[in-house]
Amino acid sequence: MNVPLLDLGPQVKSLRSEILEAVTDVIDSTRYILGPKVVSFEEEVAAYCQSDFGVGVSSGTDALVMTLMSLDIGPGDMVITTPYTFFATMGAVLRVGAKPVFVDIEEKSFNMDPEELERALGQQRRNGGRVKAIIPVHLFGQCADMSRIMPLADEYDVCVVEDAAQAIGACCPMTDADGTIQWQKAGSMGLAGCFSFFPSKNLGGIGDGGMVTTSDADFVDILRSCRNHGAKPKYYHARVGGNFRIDPVQAAVLTIKLRHLEDWHSKRHENSQTYRTLFKDAGLLDSPVVVPEERFATVSGAENHHHHIYNQFVIRVPDRDALKTYLQQHSIGSEVYYPLCLHQQKCVREYNGQNFPVAEKAAQESLALPVYPELTREQLSFVVETIAKFYTSG
Ligand SMILES: *Cc1c(COP(=O)(O)O)cnc(C)c1O
């Protein structure tokens, strides 16, 4: 049996004629830059993400870069984020000339630890550090603990840019002042949310694409002008932006896929539950295989919301690299997200000597298993059986 980490084939197959028609429409329309397909897609994504506005961009990376540029973040400024995320989160901060400040993650969720955030904010305030933004990353499809991060950001008067590239549609429980819980979508809690439509994300295009969401009517104007070289009006540049535009072809394809997104989330979640049961039945649960905890599963109302959209299903195991090789030998795809923390990357040598033990441990132990919607029960069983064989045959 063959179980790839991700197979986009079934999705394309089922939507092929619809997609071809939509792409043909774009071609025949001769509207190749922005235009009505992009506008309607932006409106649909914004509505889906509980935000007032969406600004379609060229990639998730550009969503981050453009948002930081629009906030006038640059040299001398600091941006707090996590060392355990895809490179683009840090890359965006470095590219605008600002300095990333890292805070460690929670062991159980892989996401930014609010206590560490509070410590870092306090330390920077004492040192006179100019912290301009916090970028929590909703890693693997589950939101960071925004209910604790947002009040800290308010207290320290720092704006929040959510890296929601892996978490479109994920819901986060936010507690009101009177104690009631509001489930809010990823990207709707901070000033802006940054999304990616890279093909392997839950909502993936047929190429690169991204979106910035916001509910701030002034900020959306800045974002839109930044997307087009900072022009406002055309050929008049009060600021420097770039070409960060999404293609209407991507908008057309993604509009079709968006209609299926909730269903795909449900199937990924079902697969994760099946894994849990199978690992338990095989006697592997907790030792040696630690299955990710769902951070918000016990919050009231959790059963009615996609609180984890499982862009990745990531387990923690001993002998991770050997297991990965073994799975490969048995035609099972897996991947390490991420083998090296950001503070350990060569391009930021000045962070050498800093330690983020929880993130570093995660980088040693974590392994993503196939979880895409169309996987069969047999394929999931085969993955768990093969892992069981690896650990029993020594
Ligand atoms: C995918 C991803 C990005 C970048 O998105 P691209 O569309 O690939 O540029 C940024 N941050 C995180 C956490 C991601 O997973």
In this structure, is residue 293 part of a structural domain?
A: yes
Here the tokens at position 296 are: 């918000």
pLDDT digits (tens, 9 = 90+) for 135-163: 999 999 999 999 999 999 999 999 999 99
What's the confidence (pLDDT) of residue 191? 98
What contacts 140, CB < 8 A, 6 or more positions away? 110, 166, 292, 308, 310, 311, 312, 313, 314, 337, 368
219 and 199 share a domain?
Answer: yes
Vertex 158, ends 178 and 138: CA angle to 5°?
Answer: 75
Query: Which band of pLDDT confidence, cut at 50, 70 and 90, is reported for residue 18?
Result: very high
The DSSP bridge partners found for residue 80 are: 101, 134
- Tell which wins on pLDDT, 170 or 394: 170
- Under DSSP, the state recorded for 237 is B
Indicate the top mutation candidate among 58, 166, 246 to test ligand 1's pocket, ranked by most ligand atoms within 8 A of CB.
166
Same domain, 120 and 251: yes
Q: Structural domain tally of the chain? A: 2
Identify the pLDDT of residue 176: 84
Q: Are residues 181 and 163 in the same domain?
A: yes
Same-domain check for residues 236 and 374: no
DSSP-derived 3-state class of residue 172: strand
Q: Identify the residue whose C-alpha is closest to ligand 1 atom 14.
A: 165
Mean pLDDT, range 192-212, rounded to an integer:
98
286, 162: one domain: no
Q: Are 81 and 237 spatial neighbours (Cβ–Cβ below 8 Å)? A: no
Torsion of CA 382, 386, 389, 390, to 10 degrees: -170
What pLDDT score does 333 carry? 98
Q: Whose CA is nearest to atom 7 of ligand 1?
A: 60
For residues 194 and 219, membership in a common domain is answered with: yes
Asked if the structure places residue 1 within a domain, the reply is: no
CA of 373 to the centre of ligand 1 (A): 20
User: What confidence tens digit (pLDDT) does each residue in 291-317 have?
Assistant: 988 999 999 999 999 999 999 999 999
Same domain assignment for residues 207 and 297: no
> What is the average per-residue pLDDT within 231-253?
96
| Ligand 1 center to 163 CA (angstroms) | 8
Strands (E), the chain: 53-57, 78-81, 99-102, 131-135, 159-163, 171-175, 181-185, 192-196, 210-214, 313-316, 366-369
CATH of the domain at 164: 3.40.640.10
CATH number of the domain within which 316 lies:
3.90.1150.10
Name the residue type at position 114. Answer: P
Domain closes at, from 258, 287, 308: 258
Mutation test residue for ligand 1: of 62, 68, 82, 89, the one with most atoms within 8 Å of CB: 89
Do 86 and 209 share a structural domain? yes
Q: What is the mean pLDDT of residues 56-85?
A: 98
Query: Does 105 share its domain with 231?
Result: yes
User: What does the pLDDT read at residue 394?
Assistant: 60
Strand intervals (E) in 60-209: 78-81, 99-102, 131-135, 159-163, 171-175, 181-185, 192-196
Question: What residues contact residue 27 under an 8 Å CB cut-off, 6+ apart?
Answer: none
Classified as helix, coil or strand, 96 is coil
**Are 113 and 154 members of one domain?**
yes
Burial 225-243 (b: 16+ CB within 10 A, else e): bbbbbbbbeeeeeeeebbe
- Look at strands 313-316 and 131-135 and give their pairing: unpaired
Probe ligand 1: pick from 86, 208, 312, 338, max atoms within 8 Å of CB?
Answer: 86
Report CA(354)–ligand 1 centroid distance (Å).
25
How far apart are the CA of 231 and the centre of ligand 1, in A? 26
**Ligand 1 atom, smallest distance to 89 CA:** 11
352 and 250: one domain? no
The residue-averaged pLDDT of 113-130 equals: 97
How many CA within 13 A on the CB side of residue 276? 11
The minimum-distance atom of ligand 1 relative to the CA of 196 is 7
**Ligand 1 pocket: which of 140, 196, 311 to mutate (most atoms within 8 A of CB):** 196
Domain membership of residue 178 as a residue range: 9-258
Residue 127 neighbours by CB distance under 10 Å? 8
* 205 domain residue, yes or no: yes
Residue closest to 311 by CA, chosen among 360, 369, 245, 377 = 369
User: Ligand 1 centre from 283 Cα, in Å?
Assistant: 35
**258, 283, 316 - which closes a domain:** 258
Question: Are 273 and 230 in a shared domain?
Answer: no
**Is 63 inside a domain boundary?**
yes
Q: Which residues line ligand 1 (CB under 6 A)?
A: 59-61, 85-86, 88-89, 137, 163, 165-166, 196, 198, 208, 210
Do the domain assignments include residue 48?
Answer: yes
What gap in Å lies between CA 320 and CA 363, rounded to an integer? Answer: 10
Quote the Cα angle for 277-282-288, to 5°. Answer: 100
DSSP letter assigned to residue 303? G
Q: Are 254 and 208 in contact (CB under 8 A)?
A: no
- Ligand 1 centroid distance, CA of 311 (Å): 12
In the prediction, which pLDDT does 179 show? 87
